[in-house]
């Protein structure tokens, strides 16, 4: 009995040792064997795909963090070209001693030339490649090449790719004028009923790009990275652009407003004086209605917020004056929605979700018009905004500063 117990214990110990050996790091990858890609760019030139990589240099970042200045940039940028995107990436081994590691890739910047050519190859590569991250943020650019954006340094930030991604998320969260579009969201929109989406562009202001550490040694920036317009894609190609104001209206209609600022005139007599409301809560609901032979989009918007600036003369202690101010805000938002709707119609691409509303309302009718929706049907539709604005708080003062000065002098 005792011998059998000892044999059992020995077998268990032996199996445990074998398990420890089997689960060793036989397929490990050392950090000095890979190059971490923080951002990538896609260009199309002379019938070739050009892929640009923004690589992180850990040694330079470590020297900056230790308080010593080595004068070395924290990134290195290089490009490869090929007949296909994956073919271009495979050529990186011609000039790199390390394997490219894309799992930390933060952004993909696409030039307008590449977007006009068509991005099926890019999207297909992302869907098939297990190393690709569908949470990577996607941007367009009107620059000569996407590489120009990746070469640009950003003050206060060590890795530009990560900084641009945070900039876009911050804008969507606190400004809500331009969306932060992940690859997943882009693919989801392009696989939807209207096969359309909107992608934010990146611009570089100034004529002297900030592409070396020597230029960072000033108290001001000779140029800067900034978010630009909203590019509209249909299927896999760039169809057109809309500006900041129209993009803001699109965000309202798509129910993508998080926190934002809305400004509107005090009254018909004080059009130059603008009141400002911080929007804290919103809800937008789209529905489609048949209007004869065409369709009408009903947009119901509810917005609530706090009054932040008030240079107007009316007394906010009176509920009627607050209600009048809410009506002014609703009228401004209604005008914004109507103007943005017309701007999108001019591009002839539905990025508003109108097609989805029609499909839900009339599935059989949608199947008949789906192929000609963007080009023929959508430009003939109309929008019917129904906007309700509630000012929940007016701040710590019920009068404008100018009115308080007038009272103090009397």
What tokens were used for 224?
């800067």
C-beta pairs of 365-369 under 8 Å, 24+ apart in sequence: 366/193
Integer angstrom CA distances of residue 344 from 35, 85, 313, 382: 41, 31, 37, 12
pLDDT digits (tens, 9 = 90+) for 128-146: 877 777 889 999 999 989 9
Over 50: is that where the pLDDT of 147 sits?
Answer: yes
How does DSSP classify residue 182? B
Task: State pTM to two decimals.
Answer: 0.85
Q: How confident is the model at residue 67 (pLDDT cuts 50, 70, 90)?
A: very low
- The tokens describing 343, both together, are 């701007």
Rounded-to-integer distance, Cα 107 and Cα 351, Å: 22
* Alpha helix (H) residue ranges in 212-353: 244-253, 319-347
> Ranked by mean pLDDT, which of 19-28, 98-107, 254-263 comes out on top?
254-263
Mean pLDDT across the chain, nearest whole number?
85
Confidence band for 164, pLDDT divided at 50, 70 and 90: very high
Q: Give the confidence band of 313 by pLDDT, cuts at 50, 70, 90.
A: confident
| Contact (CB, 8 A) for 268 and 242 | no
């Amino acid at each position: 009995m005792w011998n059998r117990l000892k044999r059992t214990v020995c077998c268990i110990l032996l199996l445990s040792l074998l398990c420890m050996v089997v689960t060793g790091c036989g397929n490990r990858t050392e950090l000095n064997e890979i190059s971490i890609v923080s951002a990538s760019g896609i260009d199309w030139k002379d019938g070739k795909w050009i892929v640009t990589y923004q690589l992180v240099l850990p040694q330079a970042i470590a020297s900056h963090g230790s308080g010593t200045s080595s004068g070395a940039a924290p990134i290195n940028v290089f490009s490869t070209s090929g007949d296909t995107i994956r073919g271009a990436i495979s050529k990186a081994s011609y000039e790199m001693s390390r394997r490219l590691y894309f799992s930390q890739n933060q952004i993909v910047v696409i030039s307008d030339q590449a977007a006009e050519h068509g991005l099926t190859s890019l999207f297909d590569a992302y869907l098939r490649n297990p190393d690709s991250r569908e949470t990577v943020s996607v941007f367009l650019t009107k620059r000569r090449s996407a590489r120009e954006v990746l070469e640009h340094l950003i003050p206060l930030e060590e890795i530009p790719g990560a900084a641009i991604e945070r900039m876009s998320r911050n804008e969507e969260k606190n400004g809500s004028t331009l969306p932060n579009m992940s690859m997943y969201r882009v693919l989801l929109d392009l696989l939807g009923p209207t096969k359309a989406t909107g992608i934010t562009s990146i611009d570089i202001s100034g004529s002297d790009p900030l592409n070396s550490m020597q230029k960072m040694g000033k108290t001001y920036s000779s140029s800067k990275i900034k978010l630009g317009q909203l590019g509209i894609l249909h299927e896999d190609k760039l169809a057109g652009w809309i500006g900041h104001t129209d993009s803001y209206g699109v965000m309202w209609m798509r129910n993508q407003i998080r926190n934002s600022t809305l400004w509107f005139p005090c009254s018909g007599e004080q059009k130059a004086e603008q009141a400002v409301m911080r929007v804290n809560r919103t809800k937008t609901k789209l529905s489609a209605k048949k209007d004869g032979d065409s369709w009408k989009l009903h947009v119901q918007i509810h917005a609530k917020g706090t009054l932040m600036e008030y240079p107007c003369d009316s007394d906010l202690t009176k509920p009627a004056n607050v209600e009048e101010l809410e009506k002014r805000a609703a009228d401004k938002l209604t005008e914004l929605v109507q103007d943005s709707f017309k701007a999108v119609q001019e591009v002839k691409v539905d990025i508003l979700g109108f097609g989805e509303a029609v499909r839900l309302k009339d599935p059989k009718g949608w199947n008949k018009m789906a192929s000609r929706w963007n080009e023929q049907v959508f430009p003939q539709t109309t929008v019917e905004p129904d906007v309700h604005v509630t000012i929940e708080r007016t701040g710590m003062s019920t009068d404008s500063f100018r009115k308080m000065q007038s009272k103090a002098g009397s």
